[in-house]
Structure 1
Amino acid sequence: MRIAVLDDYLRVSQQVADWSSIAARAEIVVFDEPLGTQERAAAALADFDILCTLRERMPISRMLIGQLPRLKYILVTGKRFDQIDAEAAAERGIAVSNTRVDGRGGGAVAELVWGLMLSLARNIPREDRLMRHGEWQHAMGTTLKGKRLGILGLGGLGQQIARGGAFFGMDVVAWSQNLTPEKAEAGGARYVSREALFAESDFITIHVAWSERTTGLVGAPELALMKPSAFLINTARGPIIDEQALVATLRARSIAGAALDVYWQEPLAADHPLRSLDNVVLTPHLGYFTRDMLQVYYGDAVLAIEAFLDGKPIDVVNGVKRR
């Protein structure tokens, strides 16, 4: 039995969880770089029985599943499994499981949101870089208190951000496709229209789930509504923003700046235009990437793989109960 631990770029999976019980029963191979194309993935994974993903870093499509003759089990770390064709796996009798949801996940992302927001407001990354070259003060900062914070999506994570906004003395407003004034008030925000959220907010942070309906939800029309002094933060998913429209907006300096943790294609290409802009703060999908969360994900992965090896898979999401 061979197990592929996918997209573990820093090889942390074996550090934060004890895999010894599995290593005694199967061969574990860690892939520390993206496999890229479906063809490369098919060639690299053809001899594996179990795939263990790190969140949604790697899509496992119907085509790829069809090219993996030994595949018996897919374990997804985290709640969401949108990138896995669970139906195609079920047709082959391949069980797909996910791991439990842990409250520290939302906390980790919320903390990063505030780090990014403060980085934008106080020019922290740029001033740090310039200080290292002997420079001293290049721009005035922006105070959060009294500013309007627009939250796009007021679920559990959005509500955490709303509470933080209240702490900083911000005027917190929210909009999403299913939000009502009553739900907004219960979540710690004031409901506004989509147009008002973009046109009147000083900071906008995105917390809707990525789906077909939310792909491109923030496009050129929405960006055009934003104030020249406004900032945009995205720690949700890259495709929620029209990336080309955002690059054009930042180049034209039609908004003050953006902070991004997620992108249409990850890892972000070395020559991507976002890397050359001085009014954007970039982080490499760090939202969930803390030791605390990785201990939860990989610790649960060990338990799930053990259960599968025992013939009793747990937390199966596609109805396949036996191997």
Structure 2
Amino acid sequence: MKILFCGEGFPEARRQLAALLPDDKILALPPDRIGRHIADADIVVPTVNRVDETLMQEGHFGLIQQFGVGLEGVDITAATKNGIWVARVPSEESGNAASVAEHAILLMLMLSKRWNDIIRTRKPGIQDRWGTPTGQALREKTVCIVGLGGIGRELARRLVGFRVRIVTADDHPGRTVPGVEIARQYPLSDLPAAFAEADYIVLCLNYTPDRFHLVGSTALAAAKPGAYLVNVARGGLLDEDTLLTALKSGQVAGAGLDVFWQEPVDMGHPLFSENVIATPHIAGVTDVSYEGIARAFAGNVKRYAAGETPLYLANAPEKVRHR
């Protein structure tokens, strides 16, 4: 089988798969070179790139398998029409959700401790700033978790030890987390009310096209002044221009971002001149997460090669295309 990664990022993913699939060929190419190799690909891995109907019709592949959860770059309707399975790896089953939740807490703590100010105190000639800056403790603060899926649930469990108050904004009313007290639950349609309560807002929500810029001017204008915002979900959920305005005004005190409106992101964007901590989409890039995802991915490759139905499908074509 020939497995084609759409992009050259995430090299550890390919290394893990090569060990599990020694008889298969794994190739990674930049988006502008994919078209030259798509004809002989059996399985396509979108990563963070677009897989549209044009690419589907240029190739003969019958499975689009994500190395992880996000399928925002895949035209699932076109895939279904063309008889192509689309599959992902659930975050809780792979360990990815736990890793991303840990990273969300890292970003929350870095913002709380004013990491960007700490970096500046390390410059020569400012010894008089030793013992500064004064940070903010998480204890007794209110955290709004947006999206109580796999990542949101793992985050809620970990926040219990910090003795914070948790509110949620979710598309499944009444969804709970065993052992975790949720002070108040809001529907996604009432994000402004949820944001108004929160000292920290953490985006953990699955991305779908109808959620493009879900967090925009209305929601951020309603946020509690001085709140911190963390996004470990997908960049498309957040309007970056509105966030920039909110950071400049102080409405949002700082942002921790692991995902962006385009990836790789241009670090020359004016947003990064504000109090922003940016990490290069590594929240789920851990030993536990990658081992779990790679095992599930390899299992689906073997099922597909044997003519069996893959697991964790996002669609159900009536007639499946095979090479």
Please state which band the TM-score falls in when normalised by the shorter chain.
0.7 to 0.9
Residue 42 of structure 1 and its aligned partner are, at CA, apart by 5.0
Of 205, 209, 212, which aligns to 1:208? 205
Q: 1:296 maps to which residue? A: 292
Q: Residue 30 of structure 1 aligns to which amino acid in structure 2?
A: A
Q: 2:107 maps to which residue? A: 116
* More displaced 10-residue stretch of structure 1: 195-204 or 305-314: 305-314
Secondary structure at the residue paired with 2:195? helix
The C-alpha deviation readout for 1:230-272, integer Å capped at 9, x for no partner, is: 1111111112221110011112223211111111211112432
Q: 2:28 maps to which residue? A: 30
- Provide closer, same or farther for how the CA distance between residues 168 and 47 of structure 1 changes in structure 2, counting only shifts above 3 A: same
Secondary structure at the residue paired with 1:12? helix
TM-score normalised according to structure 2 size? 0.83
Residue 113 of structure 1 and its aligned partner are, at CA, apart by 0.9
Judge conservation of contact 1:52–1:301 (CA < 8 Å) in 2.
no
Partner Cα separation in structure 1 for residue 95 and residue 178 of structure 2: 24
Gaps (5+ residues) in structure 2? none
Q: Residue 28 of structure 2 aligns to which amino acid in structure 1?
A: V
Secondary structure at the residue paired with 2:296? helix
- Provide closer, same or farther for how the CA distance between residues 91 and 199 of structure 1 changes in structure 2, counting only shifts above 3 A: closer
- Provide closer, same or farther for how the CA distance between residues 211 and 88 of structure 1 changes in structure 2, counting only shifts above 3 A: closer
The C-alpha deviation readout for 1:262-308, integer Å capped at 9, x for no partner, is: 1121111243222222x111111122111221222223333322333
- Provide closer, same or farther for how the CA distance between residues 189 and 117 of structure 1 changes in structure 2, counting only shifts above 3 A: same
Q: 2:184 maps to which residue? A: 191
- Provide closer, same or farther for how the CA distance between residues 189 and 51 of structure 1 changes in structure 2, counting only shifts above 3 A: same
Secondary structure at the residue paired with 1:208? coil
Q: Residue 216 of structure 2 aligns to which amino acid in structure 1?
A: G
Residue 59 of structure 1 and its aligned partner are, at CA, apart by 2.0
Q: Residue 26 of structure 2 aligns to which amino acid in structure 1?
A: I
Partner Cα separation in structure 2 for residue 64 and residue 198 of structure 1: 40
Gaps (5+ residues) in structure 1? none
Secondary structure at the residue paired with 1:258? strand
Q: 2:277 maps to which residue? A: 281
Q: Residue 119 of structure 1 aligns to which amino acid in structure 2?
A: M
Q: 1:3 maps to which residue? A: 3
Alignment length (residue pairs): 311
- Provide closer, same or farther for how the CA distance between residues 158 and 90 of structure 1 changes in structure 2, counting only shifts above 3 A: closer
Q: Once the two structures are aligned, what percentage of the paired residues are identical? A: 26
Residue 22 of structure 1 and its aligned partner are, at CA, apart by 4.6
Alignment root-mean-square deviation, CA: 2.9
Partner Cα separation in structure 1 for residue 294 and residue 185 of structure 2: 40
Residue 61 of structure 1 and its aligned partner are, at CA, apart by 0.9
Partner Cα separation in structure 2 for residue 273 and residue 208 of structure 1: 26
Q: How does 1:147-186 map to 2 (within 5 A)?
A: 147-180=141-174, 183=176
Residue 178 of structure 1 and its aligned partner are, at CA, apart by 4.0
Partner Cα separation in structure 1 for residue 22 and residue 76 of structure 2: 24
- Provide closer, same or farther for how the CA distance between residues 210 and 231 of structure 1 changes in structure 2, counting only shifts above 3 A: same
- Provide closer, same or farther for how the CA distance between residues 230 and 98 of structure 1 changes in structure 2, counting only shifts above 3 A: closer
Q: How does 1:243-254 map to 2 (within 5 A)?
A: 243-254=240-251
- Provide closer, same or farther for how the CA distance between residues 172 and 312 of structure 1 changes in structure 2, counting only shifts above 3 A: closer
Q: Residue 83 of structure 1 aligns to which amino acid in structure 2?
A: G
Partner Cα separation in structure 2 for residue 192 and residue 166 of structure 1: 17
Of 17, 35, 45, which aligns to 1:43? 35
Partner Cα separation in structure 1 for residue 10 and residue 213 of structure 2: 31
* More displaced 10-residue stretch of structure 1: 284-293 or 128-137: 128-137
Residue 191 of structure 1 and its aligned partner are, at CA, apart by 1.3
